[in-house]
Amino acid sequence: MADGKIVIKTRHGELSLEQLAEAQHGMAHLMKEVGERYHVLYYAAKALNWKLAQYQLNQVIALFRIGATLRPKFSEDLNGFIKTYFQPMSEAIRAQDWRIFEEAFKKGIQGSDQFHEKYGYGFIHFVLPKNPPEMYDLTSRE
């Protein structure tokens, strides 16, 4: 510990905790992956591939939790978003109910727009791509 600061030794040299914190990806990086997974989530559910839909939603929730940890100023809103928007989606997936899922999904997009506006990013609006992702076979195996 130099000057009361914690220093981490790596094979590349020494880094302070402050340097490690600054090297962490920000919300923009996380939200890019959220958008990609949200796209897959929708079309997986539409194809009635409920396992893939739940997997994608779980990954989105994990990304929100990482964001809440790395960016504490967003923590309350990110955790609230999980409860308000993602829990109803998860319930619809468990019930295998496309109609309820689609309604919850659309509410999630509206909630996203509200939070972007709140934090000064009102120019960001998620638009669901018109086509399913080509990198996945969305066919349910059940």
Domain count of the fold of the chain: 1
CB–CB of 7/16 below 8 Å? yes
The residue with greater pLDDT, 139 or 44, is 44
Q: With respect to residue 130, please indicate whether it lies within any of the assigned structural domains.
A: no
Rounded Cα distance between 137 and 16, Å, is: 44
Distances (CA, A) of 130 to 40, 50, 104, 127: 12, 20, 18, 9
Going by C-alpha positions, the residue among 79, 77, 102, 80 that lies closest to residue 89 is: 102
Is the pLDDT at 128 greater than 60? The verdict is yes
Q: With respect to residue 7, please indicate whether it lies within any of the assigned structural domains.
A: no
> Identity (one letter) of the amino acid at 107?
K
Is the pLDDT at 24 greater than 80? The verdict is no
- Range in 18-27, 50-59, 96-105 the model is least confident about: 18-27
Q: With respect to residue 16, please indicate whether it lies within any of the assigned structural domains.
A: no
State pTM to two decimals. 0.87
Q: With respect to residue 8, please indicate whether it lies within any of the assigned structural domains.
A: no
Q: With respect to residue 3, please indicate whether it lies within any of the assigned structural domains.
A: no
Is the pLDDT at 2 greater than 60? The verdict is no
Q: With respect to residue 128, please indicate whether it lies within any of the assigned structural domains.
A: no
Range of the domain at 76: 25-118
Q: What is the CATH number of the domain that holds 86?
A: 1.20.120
Q: What average pLDDT does this structure show over 44-67?
A: 97
Q: With respect to residue 108, please indicate whether it lies within any of the assigned structural domains.
A: yes
Q: With respect to residue 78, please indicate whether it lies within any of the assigned structural domains.
A: yes
Is the pLDDT at 72 greater than 80? The verdict is yes
Q: What is the DSSP string of 42-65?
A: HHHHHTT-HHHHHHHHHHHHHHHH
